[in-house]
Chains A and B, each alone.
Chain A
Amino acid sequence: MSSQQKFQSHGERDGFEHTVFKKAALVLAMTMGCAGAASAYVGDSFLEIPGISGHVPEGPFDGWIRSEAHYWPEVPIRVFVMDDDADASEVGFAGNRMTFGGPGAPKEGKDSSLVISLRKDNPDLDQLMTLCRDNTVLPEMAYAESSEASRPILEVAPRPDNLPEYWQYKLKDAAISDCPVVDEAPEQALVISFADIEWLNYAADGPKLNRVDLRSEDFPKVEPAPQSPGTKAFVVSWFGVAGYVDETQCPVMNKKPTEDDYYAFMTKEQADAKREEFGEMGVDYGRHMGFRGPSELSVVHLPGIIADPGFSEPVSSKAHGVNLDGWNGSGEPPAGMCPQTAYTSIDGREEGIDNQLFTVVGCFDGYRGKHGYRNQTSNARRADGNITTLIEISGIDDAQNDDDIDVKIIHSMDHPMKDSSGNYLPFSTFRPSTEPQFAYFNRQFKGRIVDGLIVTDPIPYFELNTGLQDPLLILKEVQLRLEIQPDETLTGALGGYMDWKRFMSGNRSSYSENLFGFQAPGLYNALRRNADGLKDPVTGECSGISAAYEIEAVPAFISSDS
């Protein structure tokens, strides 16, 4: 089967024959709109081709070739995986997510393909293009993908020590079978077809998932403070990407791709054939629209392989968030940062708020605060008791100015109680959860109160189980900026730097493009443009983008007797 034939079939299959997906998984995956999506991520993976000396300069893949993004076309996206004897309630949406899935590559013993993208300035690209043009079949190629980035998206467990950082494979009798060139695109797609694959560091017949049992010392020691006048607790009622300031922020909203975009790389004959095939239903966003790249390659998985369609950004001097780098917007940004906008806080009290993610998603409907459907669905799941997050502020001697307080994030086993309007019932009591998938993510900050504003010292590395579709939030240099309101509620933001490619991976779906109103290639380029933190001193590029999550919480109590 030629690669072209294979890719023509991609748009037709629903991709759920894989035995990993039982009926429940099928339903859940379809609910998430992942039909047509493949096992993939946006982020570094590495290819080794005998005879070609790659330019990865260091690390375990020194001398290999770096890929910006990839997908395995014949392996469907893994929302979660199950043992053969497990059911969805055990490890699915509502089940235990302290698992770590095995590799997401095709199984051994059959031919398949891998699609990767390289930046056009990658010094190794020319040699790969030559292999493609010559249709050279090599006895083997080696490939490595991140085990964490490629894992099923509902998992939250840390990677066990006995599992490698990268899954490694040997691609046998492999050839770069297609390499359609798009001149204006920042990246080049390469299709690697192979006759067989060998899993090098994970048994091909090994468990589909690995349950992660943590030791007591693995859990952060975060205990609720004794109930006292100096302790205030809250239950989080809203936690979402801070992408909304006001109604005027978007002169132009981002838009989802159109059918014209889908047919853009097709000949008239190809397009006519597709139109006839789809009939009056037209292009299906879930199954077809993502494959609108050249050779019907997926531009949601490889968002750099077509020209940047552009991305509308908000017009606002204000944003939610935290001043992460201490720069207030005057003079030059501090060293180690990429160009950025210094926003003013919503309350007008602080300059230099870092939230470049707002610059990206401010006109991206899914993330526009409470108007955003993505935020809404996440918080609806929160309100349903999918996860209960508590914030405790203790050691308060002076509610206006106190130089030493503790701020804790504690997860509860109790569902939030609601009033008759469906709002969180204030002053409910919550028991801390001892369930590993929640207790592992408890955190403690040191902080202070300045003129009523609660600010915390940064935590270098921060993970949070948000309990939602894409549950594991990972941020660096995280701080909180909170304020107790006169009505005793808590509002504010959690800010930090996120791996912008990880954020992109979380949006690699044409179903999401349709639902949330954006184009994946535009988002990809906007994220890269606006990345402002975690600067690589060698390349000068920033891998992190400052981000903020809006927090609203109602007063609560944390049980001391659980």
Chain B
Amino acid sequence: MSDKLKSGSLAGQLLAGQLLTGQEGTAKSKIVRVCAAVGLVLSASWSLVGCEPSGVKEPSMEGYSPTVRRLDEAQYIRSIHYIFDKDIDVPGRFDPPVRESGLMAIGSSGAVVTTAGLEQNLARAQRVASQVMAEEKRQEYLTCDLENANSFAEQCAVDFFNQYGRLLFRRPVNEVELDIALAATRDATEVYQDFYQGMEYGLVSLLISPAFMYRIETSEADPDEKGQYRLDAYSLASRISFLLWSAPPDEELLDIAESGKIFDEETLRSQFDRMVASPRFETGVRAFFIDNFSYDRFHGLVKDTSLFPMFSPRLRDDAQEQSLRTIVNHLISEAGDYRELFTTNKTFINRNLGALFRVPVNATEPGEWVPHTFEEGQNRMGLLTLPAFLMLDTNHEGRSSPTIRGKVVREQYFCQPVPSPPGDVDFESFESHDNPLQTARERLVRHNEDPVCAGCHEVTDPIGLAFENWDAIGQYRTHENDALIDPAGNLEGVAFADGIELQQVISENEALTSCLAKRVYEYGVGKPLRSRDFNWMDYTYEDFSENNYNFVELLRHIAMSKAFRAAMPENITRS
């Protein structure tokens, strides 16, 4: 048995049958086995693979087929703002994101643009183009200043489409694309007798092009690895840029791609450092964690305000912002250990959250965020005692759900998928407010008596019950329905007294850090990790460990790895 298995990781425990608590052969144990087999096989398999010592050569990894990923709403808006102007209004509804294998970044590979989405895209493109070509702005982008603008100025148009088409498409525009844009411009100029209106139409042709709306990767034969393929330079530039900035490459990175130096290790390292130093990096880190922790679900999150009058859209937004600030500050500003994100007593609060935490907020401006250190007695420590985690349950508006909280920890923090409940489960006995059982723990005990439920609930509930000291919006409480809450439990044999202690246990669980490493890679490549890639993942994990779980170093390791650029030929797709 490997060391990891011996160490009592969840995967190891499950495979070893430790969670069965000696009830092998019963219906319950079978359910547990199903749960483990279906949900936890990935991390378990990964954990079983032995680790390479540090400093070894990067294990080879067969590349993925190049992806075609739809820009999400935020990426679209950032593209426009970064390429043109942050004041440009980007209107309209976007097609909803698709989450797959835990990440929208993976789901975006399979995301389509609907008919309605295309209509919105066209309208949006027209609105954006009209702002770019507005009288007060266009001279920032055009090389010509025409005295007579009622005729087509070809060179001016060519210059514009070459420069901005390259930024929009994240690669040079090809002749066909340029011809389409020029033709649209020429025709519209003739119709309207106005070159600038013509340019709006030309720009629209770029903005509605799949080359802009989709990140279309292409591969090429790897000259350094005979028989292997890699992303081409522009595709790699985009992959790195979206990993770090969640935005398209800037001109400098495109220049590096154009020169081919992006495959040069030192050049790439230098570019990595430059990009991490950019203000865009924080935006990129936020985008990753929004995806990784499913913070997109804050959009539209509601709670029953008759039960939780403190809840409001503003509190919801503040809760998300607080966690993101805490993450960015700990991982980036302080270059902290990822594990300590779950034990830190440092965060940021504003007046609204101060009321939730019942602590004073010594801000000098309304709405100002100020650093805050939770003190003894304030009953908070770690990311999972912040309201973002505690309230982000779209299924329960009127109460906390230990099961959902436990599931979230398993899936989003440990990368251990938990199967959905069977379709015929009767939730009434648990959900009803008429339930005479006062606490969630008492109500959930029923699941343990039902073998259909017990397998998965044993995986989720001990974690979630530890957080019962915080209600559905994250307010601290000691009692539920006048009954004292018992938050104690154990996670894979390690006992904890409450949610704060549980986070200490979580922080020491390798599933936490290995999950992050896996997710960062998947986020970057847009594909779920394959079982045959575990060797490379262990190599990556070891590096992460040796760098004290420094998030930036993890990004560097992945961005500069050969695995990150490895690809299949474009005509080969494996399942």
Question: Residues of A with Cβ closer than 8 Å to B?
Answer: 227, 414, 417, 419-421, 423, 425-429, 431, 557-562
Known contacts A227-B360, A425-B310, A559-B361; is A417 also within 8 Å of B352 by CB?
Answer: yes
- B149 at the binding interface (Cβ < 8 Å): no
Q: With a CB–CB cut-off of 8 A, which chain A residues contact B355?
A: 417, 425-429
Which residue of A is nearest B312, CB measured? A420
What is the distance, in angstroms, from B375's C-beta to the closest C-beta of chain A?
Answer: 11
- B354 at the binding interface (Cβ < 8 Å): yes
CA distance A562 to B305 in the complex (A): 32
Q: With a CB–CB cut-off of 8 A, which chain B residues contact A560?
A: 360, 362
Which residue of B is nearest A418, CB measured? B312
Helix, strand, loop or mixed for chain A's interface?
loop
Which residue of B is nearest A558, CB measured? B360
- B309 at the binding interface (Cβ < 8 Å): yes
CB pair A561–B312 under 8 Å, yes or no, is no
CA distance A414 to B308 in the complex (A): 24
CB pair B309–A429 under 8 Å, yes or no, is no
Q: With a CB–CB cut-off of 8 A, which chain A residues contact B263?
A: none
Which residue of A is nearest B358, CB measured? A427
Helix, strand, loop or mixed for chain B's interface?
loop
CB pair A559–B312 under 8 Å, yes or no, is no
Which residue of B is nearest A423, CB measured? B309
CB pair B364–A431 under 8 Å, yes or no, is yes
CB pair A557–B359 under 8 Å, yes or no, is yes
CA distance A51 to B525 in the complex (A): 105
User: Closest 7 A-B residue pairs measured CB to CB?
Assistant: A557-B360, A561-B362, A420-B305, A419-B309, A429-B361, A427-B358, A421-B309
CA distance A427 to B359 in the complex (A): 7
Which residue of B is nearest A426, CB measured? B355
CA distance A359 to B306 in the complex (A): 38
CB pair A428–B310 under 8 Å, yes or no, is no
Q: A428-B355, A561-B362 are in contact. List 15 more A-B contacts (CB 8 A).
A: A414-B351, A419-B312, A420-B308, A425-B352, A427-B357, A427-B359, A428-B352, A428-B354, A429-B361, A429-B362, A429-B363, A557-B360, A559-B362, A561-B363, A562-B364
Which residue of A is nearest B310, CB measured? A419
Contact with A along B352-380 (1 / 0, CB 8 A): 10111111111110100000000000000
What is the distance, in angstroms, from B370's C-beta to the closest C-beta of chain A?
Answer: 9
Which residue of A is nearest B360, CB measured? A557
Q: How large is the interface on B (under 10, 10 to 19, 20 to 34, 35 or more residues)?
A: 20 to 34
B residues 275-321 near A (Cβ < 8 Å) are 305-306, 308-312
CA distance A423 to B310 in the complex (A): 9
CA distance A323 to B356 in the complex (A): 38
What is the distance, in angstroms, from B378's C-beta to the closest C-beta of chain A?
Answer: 12
CA distance A515 to B195 in the complex (A): 66
CB pair A559–B310 under 8 Å, yes or no, is no
Which residue of A is nearest B361, CB measured? A429
What is the distance, in angstroms, from A408's C-beta to the closest C-beta of chain B?
Answer: 16
Cross-chain pairs A/B with CB under 8 angstroms, 28 sampled:
A414-B366, A417-B355, A419-B309, A419-B310, A420-B305, A420-B308, A420-B312, A421-B306, A423-B309, A425-B310, A426-B355, A426-B358, A427-B354, A427-B356, A427-B358, A428-B351, A429-B361, A431-B363, A431-B364, A557-B354, A557-B360, A557-B361, A559-B362, A559-B363, A560-B360, A560-B362, A561-B364, A562-B362
Which residue of B is nearest A555, CB measured? B358
What is the distance, in angstroms, from B478's C-beta to the closest C-beta of chain A?
Answer: 15
CA distance A407 to B93 in the complex (A): 54
CB pair A421–B305 under 8 Å, yes or no, is yes
What is the distance, in angstroms, from A47's C-beta to the closest C-beta of chain B?
Answer: 53
CB pair A420–B311 under 8 Å, yes or no, is yes
CA distance A115 to B364 in the complex (A): 53
CB pair A420–B351 under 8 Å, yes or no, is no
Q: With a CB–CB cut-off of 8 A, which chain B residues contact A419?
A: 305, 309-312
Q: With a CB–CB cut-off of 8 A, which chain B residues contact A562?
A: 362, 364
CB pair A420–B309 under 8 Å, yes or no, is yes
What is the distance, in angstroms, from B274's C-beta to the closest C-beta of chain A?
Answer: 37
Which residue of A is nearest B362, CB measured? A561
Q: With a CB–CB cut-off of 8 A, which chain B residues contact A558?
A: 360
Q: With a CB–CB cut-off of 8 A, which chain A residues contact B364?
A: 431, 561-562
Q: With a CB–CB cut-off of 8 A, which chain B residues contact A423?
A: 309
What is the distance, in angstroms, from B246's C-beta to the closest C-beta of chain A?
Answer: 33
Which residue of B is nearest A424, CB measured? B355
Q: With a CB–CB cut-off of 8 A, which chain A residues contact B356?
A: 427
Q: With a CB–CB cut-off of 8 A, which chain B residues contact A421?
A: 305-306, 309
Q: With a CB–CB cut-off of 8 A, which chain B residues contact A420?
A: 305, 308-312
Interface centre among A414, A420, A426, A561 (most CB of B within 10 A): A420
What is the distance, in angstroms, from B263's C-beta to the closest C-beta of chain A?
Answer: 52
CA distance A559 to B354 in the complex (A): 11
Which residue of A is nearest B357, CB measured? A427
What is the distance, in angstroms, from A312's C-beta to the closest C-beta of chain B?
Answer: 38
CA distance A419 to B306 in the complex (A): 10
What is the distance, in angstroms, from A343's C-beta to the closest C-beta of chain B?
Answer: 35
CA distance A81 to B536 in the complex (A): 78
B residues 325-370 near A (Cβ < 8 Å) are 351-352, 354-364, 366
Q: With a CB–CB cut-off of 8 A, which chain B residues contact A559?
A: 360-363
CA distance A562 to B364 in the complex (A): 5
What is the distance, in angstroms, from A339's C-beta to the closest C-beta of chain B?
Answer: 47
Q: With a CB–CB cut-off of 8 A, which chain B residues contact A426?
A: 355, 358
Q: With a CB–CB cut-off of 8 A, which chain A residues contact B352?
A: 417, 425, 428
Q: With a CB–CB cut-off of 8 A, which chain B residues contact A417?
A: 351-352, 355
Which residue of B is nearest A557, CB measured? B360
